[in-house]
Structure 1
Amino acid sequence: MFKIGEFSKLTQVSIRMLRYYDETGLLKPAEIDKWTGYRLYSVEQIPILNKIVYLRDSGFLISEIITALNKKDDPGLLAQLDKKYKEIEQNIQEEQERLRKINLAKAEILMGKRDIHYNISIKEIPSYQVLSLRRIIPDYYAEGTLWQELSAFAAEHQIPLSSNTFSIYHDTSYKETLVDVELCAPVERLGKSSENFVYRSTSPVPTMACTMVYGAFSNIRKGYLTFSNWLQENNRYQMSGPTRQIVHRGPWNENNPDNYLIELQIPFVQI
C-alpha cells in the first residue's frame, strides 16, 4: 500500500487531484488507515487512475468519466471516446464560425462607408425545364454536397445538364439551420422522376429584382442589404415567392474567393 504522497509521486498526479477524485467518487482509496485516517492506495489502482487522467485530458466531464469507467469492455469505452471526438469536432466548427463572424465584423468596421453598393436590375424570368433536388440541409454551407449529389446522379444516368443552374430557397425567412433548398439544373426535355430527383417546370417570374455580388459568399448579406434599401426607396414593390441564387463563378471554377460571382434574385409584385 502507498500513502497518498507516495502514490502522488509515483503516478505524477497531485494530492489535491487525488483528494478531488476521492470526493467525487472517481477513485476512492483502497483503504483508510483506521488509526491515522491516512488514505492508502494500491498498485492495482494505477491503471484506473491513468484512465481517469486521459479521459479528463480528452475533455470528459466527471459524470462522463464515471460512465466510461463503468464500461468494462473496450468497445464500450471506444464508443464513448468516438462520441466525445465528434462533440469536440462540432465545438471546433462552432468556434471557427464565431471567428469568421468576428473577422466579418472587423472588416465592416474597417470598411466604414466604403461598403460596396450593388446595382439592382429588373428582369422577367421564364419557366425552365429542370432536373431538381430539394432537401432540408443543415445550413447554407451544406449546399455544396447537395450539388455533388445532383451531379453524380446526372452523370450516372447520362443526363446532359445546362450550365445555367440555380438554387431556390423555399423558406419564407432566413434560417441558420435546417434550410429548405431546391437545386435546379435546366435540361433539354423532361424525363422520369426518381425518388428525390424530380423533373419539373419552374414557374415564370414576371418581375425579378436581381443584383450581382462579387467576392466571397460572406458578401451575400450585403447584397440583401442593398435589396432592403432599394425596397425602401421603391415602396410600390413587395417581395413575392421564394428567392433564387445563381453562382456564376464559385469553388468549382474559381480558386480565389475574391473572384466569385453570385447573382441574387428576389421576385416582386407591384402593389
Structure 2
Amino acid sequence: MFKIGEFSKLTQVSIRMLRYYDETGLLKPAEIDKFTNYRLYSIEQIPVLNKIIFLRDLGFNVSEIAVALNHWDDEFIANQLDNKRLEIEKGIKAEQDKLSKIELAKRDIRQEKITIHYNVSLKSIPSYQVFSLRRIVCNYYAEGQLWKEMSAFADQNNIPISNNTFTIYYDTDYRETDVDMEICAPVARIGKDMCGFTYRNTEPVPIMACTMVYGPFENIAGAYIAFANWLQEHIQYKMSGQSRQIVHRGPWNEENPDKYLTELQIPLEKI
C-alpha cells in the first residue's frame, strides 16, 4: 500500500486531483488507515487512474468517465470516443461561428456601417388553398430539408405546386430546438392527404405586418428588433396568431447570401 503522497509521486498525479477523484467517486482509496485516517492506494489502482486521466484529457466529464469505467470494453469505449468526437466537432463549429461573428463585427466597426432600416407595411392576407407539411423540427435551419422533402414528393406524385410558397410558425416564442412549423405551397386543386402531406385552406389574416429583409438570414434578427420598435410606436396594435415567412430569394435560386430576400409576416389585431 502507498500513502497518498507516495502514490502521487509514482503516478505523477497531484494530491489535489487524487482527493478530487476520491470525492467524486472515480477512484476511492483502497483503504483508510483506521488509526491515522491516511488514504492508502494499491498498485492495482494505477491502471484505473490511467484510464481516468486518458478520458479526462479527451474532454470527458466526471459522470461520463464513471460510466466508461463501469462498462469498460473495446466496443463500448470506441462508441464513447465517437460520441465525444462528434461533440467536440460541434463545439469547434460553434466557436468558429463566434469567430466569424467577431470578424463581421470588427469589419462593421471599421466601415462605420449604417444600421439597416426595415420598413413595416400593413396588408390583408387572404385564405390560400395549399399543399402543406407540418412538422416539429430540430431548429429553424431544418426548414430547408422540409422543402426538399416536399419538392421530391410532389415530383414523384405529379403534384403541381406554385412557387409562391410560405412557412407558418406555430410557436408563440422563439425556440432553440423543437420548432413547430408548416411549409405551404399554393395549389390549384385539392387532392388526397397522404404520408403526412395535407391539403387545406389557410386562415385569412385581416391585418398582417410585413417587412422585407435583404441579405443573409442572420439579418432576420435585426428585422424583428425593428418590428418591436414599430410596435412601440403604434400602440393601437398587438401581435396575434402565427407568424409567417416567405423566402423570395434564397439558397435555391440565389448563390450570393447578400442578395437573399425574405419577407416576414406578423399578424396583428387592433387593441
Q: TM-score, normalised by structure 2?
A: 0.75
SS of residue matched to 2:189: coil
Structure 2: tracts of 5 or more residues without a match: 32-37
Once the two structures are TM-superposed, the CA of residue 103 in structure 1 deviates from its matched residue by: 6.4
Once the two structures are TM-superposed, the CA of residue 223 in structure 1 deviates from its matched residue by: 1.7
Query: CA, structure 1 residues 100+149, in 2 after alignment: closer, same or farther (shift >3 Å)?
Result: farther
SS of residue matched to 1:176: coil
Alignment of 1:67-216 (within 5 A): 67-92=67-92, 95=95, 114-216=114-216
Hey, what's the Cα distance between the residues in 2 that align with 1:21 and 1:208? 59
Query: CA, structure 1 residues 70+239, in 2 after alignment: closer, same or farther (shift >3 Å)?
Result: closer
Q: Which stretch of structure 1 is more off in the superposition, 180-189 or 105-114?
A: 105-114
Equivalent residue, structure 1, for 2:229: 229
Once the two structures are TM-superposed, the CA of residue 84 in structure 1 deviates from its matched residue by: 3.4
Aligned-residue CA RMSD in angstroms? Answer: 4.0
Amino acid paired to 2:74: D
Q: Which stretch of structure 1 is more off in the superposition, 154-163 or 190-199?
A: 154-163
Equivalent residue, structure 2, for 1:66: 66
CA distances 1:75-131 after superposition (whole Å, capped 9, x unpaired) = 333343344345445544555565566667767877878211122333332322211
Equivalent residue, structure 2, for 1:264: 264
Q: Which stretch of structure 1 is more off in the superposition, 243-252 or 82-91?
A: 82-91
CA distances 1:127-173 after superposition (whole Å, capped 9, x unpaired) = 22211111222322222222222223223323222221111112223
Hey, what's the Cα distance between the residues in 2 that align with 1:220 and 1:68? 43
Hey, what's the Cα distance between the residues in 1 that align with 2:257 and 2:181? 22
Q: TM-score, normalised by structure 1?
A: 0.75
Alignment of 1:4-23 (within 5 A): 8=11, 13-14=12-13, 23=22
Once the two structures are TM-superposed, the CA of residue 55 in structure 1 deviates from its matched residue by: 1.0
Q: Which stretch of structure 1 is more off in the superposition, 187-196 or 47-56?
A: 47-56
CA distances 1:55-89 after superposition (whole Å, capped 9, x unpaired) = 11111224432331222432333343344345445
Paired residue total: 263
Hey, what's the Cα distance between the residues in 1 that align with 2:215 and 2:147? 20
* Identity between Structure 1 and Structure 2 (%): 58
SS of residue matched to 2:168: strand
SS of residue matched to 2:192: coil
SS of residue matched to 2:124: strand
Hey, what's the Cα distance between the residues in 2 that align with 1:255 and 1:129? 30
